[in-house]
Structure 1
């Protein structure tokens, strides 16, 4: 069975809006220092990841246009993937080869985790300490809300639209890497994947 969660919120400024330096609490009780209010998507996604655990899943996959840093790192050439499961990563990578929508694995080094844990006011900081490695820092932040051993985060900021990079797609929103995810799900629930 596949369960899809869509965390949505309205992002509108007013007198009660989150301000830089505010501390908020995630669903799992972790406190988060908000140093950049433009990095709000990861706050919403953090609660969705916590909630996903309540379904006792085999695998948690999240997908978001999370960082401009991913567009800088990979452009439209591939979807950036962070994974705690090499087996699931390998299947996703094979699925990308089959569909023509490339995926590229990026690191979840403790170096990035240390940056998001660098806060004087809270358990975590929503953007970390350094300016470089933004996509990796965002993934490290999300990982703080995942206790399940099988998790993949797909940052689709670089592939969300098509200018002229992908010849089989018209200009505009690309829908990438949906073909890869469909192929991946089919393979996951067939005999192509074994634990």
Structure 2
């Protein structure tokens, strides 16, 4: 069974289409407009707690921009930048502004609340600023059910409830467990149940 789990395909690439928006629909919509190159706002800053989806969105934007050769620059976790990196990002902002480029950045708090250089914090606050909100349990449950349905997997409500109660609550972990459970169920030719999930978790693969 350990080999079975290790052979599971990596998760699907992070895209705007597979981002579960929840209360972040406005932020997602404006990112889509920016990537379509029809947005007036060309600078977007996203902030929120770990697991709120910042990195997912930035990676999705970067992937989409590479496909269309859009002049897009990404900076994740700007609160971790040292002095030199902050100056470089400030200069990049000005260059993109002059060339009609797009800058999408993220951090753990609002631009002026992270101890950044004043000039950089001010620039980051010039554009659209969105706080990303983690999904509620109901939204996570719906995301799991949607994912299961896309795989043709029958997912009982009690399995969803167990996942949300006892597993790490970030969506990538929950999806990875769901994928492993589906593979095991198909291999064993048995339906997905809570006892099957418990056996999976006992394999101690840090999921």
Give the alignment's TM-score, normalised by structure 2. 0.24
- Give the TM-score normalised by structure 1: 0.25
Richer in strand (by share):
1
Greater Rg by CA: 2
